[in-house]
Amino acid sequence: MIYIHVPFCHRKCTYCAFYSKPAHGVDGFAQYVDVLLEEMECRKGEQAHPIRTVYFGGGTPSILPIGELGRIVDGLRRCFDLSQLEEATLEANPEDLTPEYLTSLRDLGLFNRLSIGVQSLDDEMLRLIGRRHTAQQAFEAVENARRAGFDNISIDFIYGLPSNLDFPNVLEFLRIVSHVSAYALTVEEGTALARQVEQGRVALPGDDEVVRQYHAVCKQLDNAGFHQYEVSNFARPGCESKHNSRYWDRTPYLGLGPGAHSFDGRCRRWNKPDGTFEEETLTEADAYNEMVMTTLRTTRGIALVHVPEEQMERLHHGMKRYVDCGWIVLKDNHYAPTKEGLLHADGIAAELFV
Ligand code: SF4
């Protein structure tokens, strides 16, 4: 699987701590693609073939002109065997998705899935968190995407935003999408939102309210036919993100671009914006802890078959109190979190680390 990082955004959203930089016109995009294609050429041997999934994330990949996206797609076709490709996703922001752009995107013949950052359906809230689109634009973007032939569309929402609003009424959207990612707002250090909260200019809902919203989101999506398969991800049957599911299964992947991560099964590598990179070889304990951390965020949970014999007793012992309090159930040889347990997945995982 391949991840392409596109590091540009029109402007910074107040809550965002991802690496991204302002777009500096057409030349900036062309230079970025030149460097990306060089990296692709150098590192193409690092990934097992054939490639099953490709994911363009960011940043804002839909900021790239179609011509530049086309050069990346050509590069992928040159460097990798895409004959068995199952899923190719482009993250997009609503304001970029005009009918013309979408048709050209479709004509590139690679992408079969869009992940659209809707975030909220309240225009005032969108403005407050620095988004450039309105709720109406978001709705039109999704409709335009359907008309252009994209039938696998995911939308992102944020709950726990600084308002008294419930999770927005997303019913209109839910009719025409196949996947929803709903994230609890987190205040990341160094962001504009963190400063606003610190200065008392923005008041966030308390933990109890965020938990209430989480359950409301789950219920609303459940009623609309979306099942939860990870703490933040909900899909119609068969429409789970193949790419993300493979991350959680710890499948090796190649990440290209200035902020991309890669994983070859033992070693993690981080590309840095200055063109250098860092890497770390995982010990057996690191690999086990990562497995616990990622699988506990999924509804399938920890498969006992993936637990080394020497850790089994410790795991059973550590899980006992979470089973007793109803956060975890043991079924089909998996320790699986309940809806409540998913909310505490990171804390439970930390208790189980070796
Ligand atoms: S568009 Fe996405 S990556 Fe860019 S600043 Fe906003 S949240 Fe961050």
- pLDDT tens figures, 77-92: 999 999 999 999 999 9
Which atom of ligand 1 is closest in space to residue 12's alpha carbon? 5
pLDDT (mean) for 58-82:
97
Name the residue at shortest CA distance from atom 8 of ligand 1. 16
How much is the CA Rg of the chain, to the nearest whole Å?
21
Residue range 92-107: mean pLDDT, rounded: 97
How many whole angstroms from 48 Cα to the centroid of ligand 1? 31
Q: What is the CATH number of domain 284-354?
A: 1.10.10
DSSP calls for 180-248: EEEEE----TTSHHHHHHHTTSS-PPPHHHHHHHHHHHHHHHHHTTPEEEETTEEESTT-S-HHHHHHH
Q: Of all protein residues, whose CA lies closest to atom 6 belonging to ligand 1?
A: 13
Mutate which of 19, 21, 60 for ligand 1? The one with the most ligand atoms within 8 Å of its CB, which is 60
Is the full-model pTM beyond 0.85?
yes
Atom of ligand 1 at shortest range from CA of 58: 3
Q: 115 CA distance to ligand 1 centroid (A)?
A: 13
The residue whose CB lies within 8 Å of the most ligand 1 atoms, and thus the one to mutate among 8, 16, 120, is: 16
Domain ranges of the chain: 2-247, 284-354
91 neighbors 117 (Cβ within 8 angstroms): yes
Q: What is the DSSP letter of 311?
A: H
Ligand 1 within 6 A of CB of 60: yes
pLDDT in tens, 118-135: 999 889 899 999 999 999
Selecting from 3.40.50.970, 3.30.365.10, 3.20.20.70, 3.30.70.260, what CATH number does the domain 2-247 have?
3.20.20.70
> Using an 8 Å Cβ cutoff, are 167 and 220 in contact?
yes
Across the range 254-281, mean pLDDT stands at 94
Q: What is the pLDDT of residues 138-186, one digit of tens each?
A: 999 999 999 999 999 999 999 998 765 555 567 778 889 999 999 999 9
Q: What residue spans of the chain are helical by DSSP H?
A: 25-43, 66-79, 99-107, 123-128, 135-147, 171-174, 192-198, 207-223, 242-248, 284-295, 309-324, 339-343, 345-352
Tell me what pLDDT residue 163 has.
65
